[in-house]
């Protein structure tokens, strides 16, 4: 019988955020499918094309960002030296910000929208997008360090 050491709290944090985000995105996806099933005009009408597009993007981004957290958790487990790297630490925080901002931006942009344009909530998306890119770049740099 072997004993396993407890994983670092940050690994657990990414695992927790990742699975929670995926669960929420799946729940939201179920809601979208229900709106298709129930033929809700406020979602399916041509006038609601912007909403449909935004909410589909919210669902997709939530799922993919959740998977990214799981990927980061696996990375940290495979390369524990990254746990002490300040760039990787910052990347984790930026990824968390992106995980909140991007799906929320798409969600809000579709909840209140103008003809042909998402609502102002969509402004959260580019902020989250920059945070995501920064996180990915920082992780890439940290991974290259010997």
Partner 1 sequence: MTPPQSVLRGLTSGGGLGLAGLVTVVLALGLLFLSSAGRIDRWPAEATSRAALEAATPTLRRDGFVGSDACVACHPGEHASWAATYHRTMTQRATETAVLAPFDGRELVGVDGVYRVERRGEEFWVRMVDPERKLAAAEAGEALSAGPEVWRRVVMTTGSHHLQVYWVASADKRRLLAFPFSYLIADQRWVANESTLLRPPEGDAVYTWNQVCIQCHAVSGIPGDFDEAGPAGASTSSVAELGIACEACHGPGEAHTTRHRDPTARYGQHIAGGADPTIVNPARLPHDRASELCGQCHSAAVFADENAWRQRGPSFRPGGRLGPDLQVVRHPLRADQPWLDDLLLQDPGFVEGRLWGDGTIRVVGREFSGLLESPCYQRGELSCLSCHQLHGADPDDQLAPQMDADAACTGCHPSLATAEAAAAHSHHRADSAGSRCMNCHMPNTTYGLLGASRSHEIAVPEVDAQLQGARPNACNLCHLDQTLRWTAEHLRRWYGAETPTIEAEHREVAAGLAWAVAGDANQRALIAWHMGWEPALIASGDRWVAPILALLLEDPYDAVRYIAGSSLARLPGYEGLGYDYVGAPSSRAATADEVRRRWRSGGDARRDPQLLRDPSGELRRAALAALLADRDLRPIDVRE
The answer to the question of residue 116 lying near partner 1 (CB under 8 A) is yes
* Least CB distance to partner 1 at residue 42 (A): 12
Q: Helix or strand or coil: residue 3?
A: coil
Q: Are 130 and 105 in contact (CB under 8 A)?
A: no
Residue closer to partner 1, measured from CB, 12 or 112: 112
24, 44, 49, 111: residue in contact with partner 1 (rule CB under 8 A): 49
Q: Which of 31, 38, 45, 140 binds partner 1 (CB under 8 A)?
A: 45
76 in Cβ contact with 95 (< 8 Å):
no
Q: Candidates 11-19, 41-49, 59-67, 89-97 — which segment interacts with partner 1 by CB under 8 A?
A: 41-49
The nearest distance, CB 140 to partner 1, in angstroms, is: 30
Size of the site for partner 1 (CB under 8 A): 9
Place of tokens 């103008």: 114
C-beta of residue 30 within 8 angstroms of C-beta of residue 3: no
Nearest residue to 32 via CA among 62, 56, 65, 66: 56
Per the DSSP assignment, residues forming a β-bridge with 117 are: 114
Q: Write the DSSP symbol of residue 112.
A: S
List the one residue from 23, 120, 137, 140 that touches partner 1 (CB under 8 A): 120
Instruction: Select the residue interacting with partner 1 from 1, 3, 4, 46 (CB under 8 A).
Output: 46
With CB under 8 A as the contact rule, which of the stretches 4-12, 25-33, 42-50, 98-106 interacts with partner 1?
Answer: 42-50
Rg (CA), the chain: 18
Q: Look-up: residue for tokens 């945070």?
A: 131
1, 78, 84, 115: which one binds partner 1 (CB under 8 A) = 115
For the chain, the distance separating the N- and C-terminal CA atoms, rounded to the nearest angstrom, is 34
- Report the interface residues with partner 1, using CB under 8 A: 45-47, 49, 114-117, 120
């Amino acid at each position: 019988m072997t004993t396993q050491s407890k994983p670092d709290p940050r690994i657990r944090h990414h695992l927790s955020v990742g699975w929670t985000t995926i669960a929420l995105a799946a729940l939201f996806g179920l809601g979208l499918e229900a709106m298709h099933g129930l033929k809700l005009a406020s979602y399916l009408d041509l006038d609601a094309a912007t909403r449909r597009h935004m909410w589909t993007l919210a669902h997709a981004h939530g799922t993919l960002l959740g998977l990214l957290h799981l990927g980061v958790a696996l990375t940290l487990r495979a390369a524990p030296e990254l746990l002490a790297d300040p760039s990787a630490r910052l990347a984790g925080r930026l990824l968390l910000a992106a995980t909140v901002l991007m799906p929320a931006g798409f969600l809000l942009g579709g909840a209140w929208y103008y003809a042909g344009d998402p609502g102002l909530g969509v402004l959260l998306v580019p902020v989250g997008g920059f945070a995501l890119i920064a996180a990915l770049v920082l992780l890439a740099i940290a991974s290259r360090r010997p």
